[in-house]
Structure 1
Amino acid sequence: MQNIGSKVFGLFVIGLLGTLLYLTVFSDGLGQAPKISITTKQGETIELNKPMKPVLVNFWATSCPSCIKEMPDLAKMKQALGDRFELVTVSMDYDPVEQVEKFIAANPYPFTFVMDTDGKIAKAFGDILLTPTSFLIAPNGKIVYKQIGEVHFADVTERIKKMSPQL
């Protein structure tokens, strides 16, 4: 009887490992990033569905206290990891353009700001309404992290390091 229990347990473990392997290697995870082009501060174009290096997309609004609070931490992460990833912050369409421009001018953070004045970017990411909301896109265009609320910086930093080993 004990031998049958061991075999059942062994089959269960093998099935579980197979499922985990499938989910981590072959699954789409959180899906493919939308086909959107972003122009960085340096004038480079990033295709979010095939970015070539990790991209953190952060939806924010000037009226969102959590968004404003996490901006300095986003800047620290960008400074620490440098060119290993791109950081794109997308202002919401309900945020007045003048207010966003004023915030950007007063806060020269080391990442790319994009104004989603027509709401197309937020819609492409699944009709984003809550801010902050962030997505980490792998170099193959797969979304590997989504967070509604402030970014979990230690987790995202580790994921970026694994996707872009320092040479």
Structure 2
Amino acid sequence: MKLHEQMPELYGATTWLNGRCEREDLIGEKPTLIHFWSISCRACKEDMPYLTGLQNRYKDRLNMIAVHMPRSEEDRNLQQIKKVAAQHGMTQSIFVDDNLKLTEAFGNQFVPAYYIFDKVGRLRHFQTDRSGMNMLKKRIDRLLNEMRR
């Protein structure tokens, strides 16, 4: 995806964990963070506490959706996905993308990957490296400040 493109429709999930979410649910009132992860990704698991912290910090001001993107056949084990999600306290909606439909719609190739959309659904920030987690927070803060004006 390129900056300022509209958020794709959230279609093609093999299943949803923690509740289904539609694109329309995410547009209109607050920014949205969509993060791609995989159960076989060590960096993804290391980032989970930070993401939980963001979710708690911005709970009423930020939408957050997780997309599980398999990197191997073993990553398609739904029971294992549920187990890892529970171990890391993931309470946000999780789009299980075994058929890579949403991954393709985003043009995403990486885990972890982070996409921040503004309240009207335009992509405002994208990053793949976990070294920039403070940048993620700064971008969210910037969008929230823009909304107050």
When residues 32 and 114 of structure 1 are mapped into structure 2, their CA distance, relative to the original with a 3 A threshold, is same
Q: TM-score, normalised by structure 1?
A: 0.69
2:45 matched to 1:71?
no
Deviation at 1:122, TM superposition (A): 0.4
Residue 159 of structure 1 deviates from its aligned partner by: 2.7
1:51 and 2:27 matched: yes
Alignment of structure 1 residues 72-151 onto 2, 5 Å: 72-93=49-70, 94=72, 95-96=75-76, 97-126=78-107, 128-150=108-130
Q: Measured at CA, do residues 104 and 40 of structure 1 come closer, stay the same or move farther in structure 2, by a change above 3 Å?
A: closer
For the aligned residues, what is the CA RMSD?
A: 2.8
Corresponding letter in the other structure for 1:47? R
Displacement, 1:151? 6.6
Match of 2:10 in 1: 36
Letter of the 2:121 counterpart: G
Query: What CA distance in whole angstroms lies between the structure 1 residues aligned with 2:124 and 2:106?
Result: 13
CA contact (8 A) 1:33 1:48 kept: no
Q: Which runs of 5+ in 2 are unaligned?
A: none
How many angstroms apart in 2 are the aligned matches of 1:151 and 1:136? 16
Alpha-carbon distance between aligned partners in 2 of 1:137 and 1:33, rounded to the nearest angstrom:
7
CA gap of 1:40–1:159, structure 2 versus 1, over 3 A, is: farther
Query: AA paired with 2:8?
Result: P
1:40 Cα deviation (Å)?
Answer: 8.3
Distance 2:60 2:20 in 1: 13
Q: Under a length normalisation based on structure 2, what TM-score does the superposition of the two structures give?
A: 0.77
> Between the two proteins, what is the percent identity of the paired residues?
23
